[in-house]
Amino acid sequence: MIQPPESPDTARVSVVVIAYNDAEHLGDAIRSALAQGEGVGEVLVVDDASEDATPDVLAGFADEPRVRPLRREVNSGGCGTPRNDGIAAAVHPYVLFLDSDDVLIPGAVDALLAVATAERADVVTGICVRRELPGGRETVWAAPLYDVSRGATLPGTVLDGIDEHPELVLDTLSVNKLYRRAFLNGHAIRFPEGAFHYEDFVFGARVQAAAPRLAVTDVPLYVWHVRRQAANLSISLRQASLANWEHRVAAHRAVVEVFLKAGHPALATAAQTKFLDYDLPMYLRELPRRTAAYRADWWTVTRDHLAGFDAAAVAAAPAPNRWLYAGLMALTAVPEGRELTRFAELAAGRPRLAPPYPRAEDGAPVLAAAPADVPLDGLAELTPAELPVAVDGAASVGGATRVTLTVHELYGRVGARHPVSVRVGFTERASATKLSAEAPLLPADEGWTATVRVPTTKLLRSGRLASWSLLAELRYADGSTGCAEIRAPDGFAGRRGVVLGRLGRVLLVQVVATARRGLVLRLTGGAAGARQVVSGRIRRLLARR
């Protein structure tokens, strides 16, 4: 039911901040909420039985009447219970959630309140920015939904439920939204209690299943700080733990159940497709770096979960992810060696199918040879931009950095398009700085080959280690293009050394492969850069202990 608009004098927000042993960052989170101005009526800080200096941080806000500390005597084990405590204690018409290690973007609350009151919305979404620390690189969460510069069309629309836009199940965050408290209470919507991880998934499904009046905006709202080097990693970064995957699977299963019980089978199907498109590849591509015991257990857990998927959900997934699903269901044991790497590469953000290229007895392309014979259904219909082409690269560094490429044929699909040239994009991981170089493609035994060169000085960063990932953009005779992450050839174990650059400058160079064989160049010059390399090695050694 559409609600009457709030008066501008009563449209206030209760910001619920949850904290556990995060005294270092909590103050910044609170200040970012208070800085929103009068639109924030209170900042409820739920301390989940912290054992650090969190109480001292809160004591520093004793003179701020809008800050209301709530202390739990026993730790809940998760994020859902303290958020529920905050909802129960809130007194203002709208609720916004904030984690202690993140911040709100200035002006966000006023902008969201204006939309909420004008549109009489139950929920207003805004943009969440993922900021990698310490580098500072930023990306928009669920960019296809919210980033208009990347083609998003939903911002500016108001929806009565999401049945007509099931793609919104992709957005599983709770912190990038303003909620009308009466809507949450009227539908008894709360987070799962206790040590239930990925609680956002279930809360979001409960909200969507209640068919809210939803205003979609591109208002910058929230900065999600991603601290991969933190002593205590956030739940979403603990992917090396099998329990983390089990929690994610349990949360996804609960999401599907919420939609089915609420009479939204199409949303349940969309949630399963999203799992195949997003969750499954994210963990599968990391399998080569896990232990054999982890891989075996992960394979069992995953197969058990996928066995219950609806056929329509599988059919709606893109071809590479359908192949992964079929491979998982066909192979009773996790593949090893090269075959495991092929699965991981196909699960990459830019899927690629590396050689060898087996065929079934009838000549049809297959992902895995007999007895599995997993067909590559839909391969012939893929556009150049969708083809999972494999491009190998070999790099040498001196006064110039040279990258020699081999583009592999893919069951005749590449040759049919007549590739003519390749542009190699170099992207520095910390700053997202981009460079590029182009060269013609020439026929070779393995497919096609090309060599590009860039001055090494352009790849150096003063006083620090520069790490570059490489992307190949193939150009075809008809003007179409396709992209592939450049991979390290099979058997490549990495290369480290010292080279002499221009003007006699000494450079430390590393050419390495990621877990899914992506080629990475690391270069530094000078004492400061050398120290950074050494400290990185020490951190990695300690992490293995």
Q: Is the pLDDT of residue 369 over 70?
A: no
pLDDT score at 93: 97
| Cis geometry, peptide bond prior to residue 371 (ω within 30 degrees of 0) | yes
Cβ 522 vs Cβ 467: under 8 Å: yes
Provide the pLDDT confidence category of residue 446 given band limits of 50, 70 and 90: confident
* Cα distances (Å, whole numbers) of residue 127 to 102, 112, 168, 217, 545: 14, 11, 13, 8, 39
Rounded Cα gap, residues 86 and 155, in angstroms: 29
**Helix/strand/coil (H/E/C) assignment for every residue in 126-162:** EEEEEEEECCCCEEECCHHHHCHHHCCCCCCCEEECC
pLDDT score for 270: 98
> pLDDT per residue over 77-119, tens digit each?
999 999 999 999 999 999 999 999 999 999 999 999 999 999 9
- Binned at pLDDT 50, 70 and 90, residue 7 comes out as low
pLDDT at 541: 36
The 10s digit of each residue's pLDDT in 35-77 is: 999 999 999 999 999 999 999 999 999 999 999 999 999 999 9
Distance, first Cα to last Cα, the chain: 57
Beta strands in 65-122 (DSSP E): 67-71, 94-99, 103-104
CA distance 81 to 492: 48
The pair phi, psi for residue 494, each rounded to 5°, is: 100, 155
Q: Which element (helix H / strand E) includes 284?
A: helix 280-284
Q: Per-residue confidence at 502, pLDDT binned at 50, 70, 90?
A: low
Query: Sorting pLDDT into bands at 50, 70 and 90, what band is 2?
Result: very low
Local confidence band at 238 (pLDDT 50, 70, 90 cut-offs): low
> Is residue 230 pLDDT above 90, yes or no?
no
Q: pLDDT band for position 534 (50/70/90)?
A: very low
Compute the chain's Rg from CA coordinates. Answer: 25
240: pLDDT confidence band, cut at 50, 70 and 90? confident
Average per-residue pLDDT for the chain = 90
What is the Cα–Cα distance from 274 to 166, expressed in whole angstroms?
Answer: 10
What's this model's pTM, rounded to 2 decimal places? 0.88
Kind of pairing between the strands at 447-455 and 103-104: unpaired
> 174, 236 in Cβ contact below 8 A?
no
Mean pLDDT on 320-330: 94
For range 250-269, the mean pLDDT: 98
Q: What is the tens place of the pLDDT at every residue in 154-166?
A: 999 999 999 999 9
In the prediction, which pLDDT does 500 show?
Answer: 63
For residue 485, give the H/E element and its range: strand 481-487
Confidence at residue 126, expressed as pLDDT on a 0 to 100 scale: 97
- Confidence category of residue 526, pLDDT binned at 50, 70, 90: low
**Triad 358, 362, 363: Cα angle to 5°:** 40
Between CA 385 and CA 474 the distance in angstroms is: 9
**pLDDT range class, residue 321, cuts 50, 70, 90:** very high
pLDDT greater than 80 at residue 511: yes
CA pair distance 483, 269, nearest whole angstrom: 30
The least confident of 123-132, 223-232, 535-544 is: 535-544
Cβ neighbours around 415 below 10 Å, total = 13
Rounded CA gap, 293 and 160, in Å? 47
Q: Is the dihedral of CA 285, 288, 291, 292 positive or negative?
A: positive
Q: Does the pLDDT value for residue 20 go beyond 50? A: yes
pLDDT reading at 368 higher than 60 = yes
Which band of pLDDT confidence, cut at 50, 70 and 90, is reported for residue 539? very low
Residues forming beta bridges with residue 483, ordered by sequence position: 473
Cα–Cα distance for residue pair 279/317, rounded to 1 Å: 12
Supply the pLDDT for residue 371: 63
pLDDT of residue 68: 98
Does residue 536 have a pLDDT over 60?
no
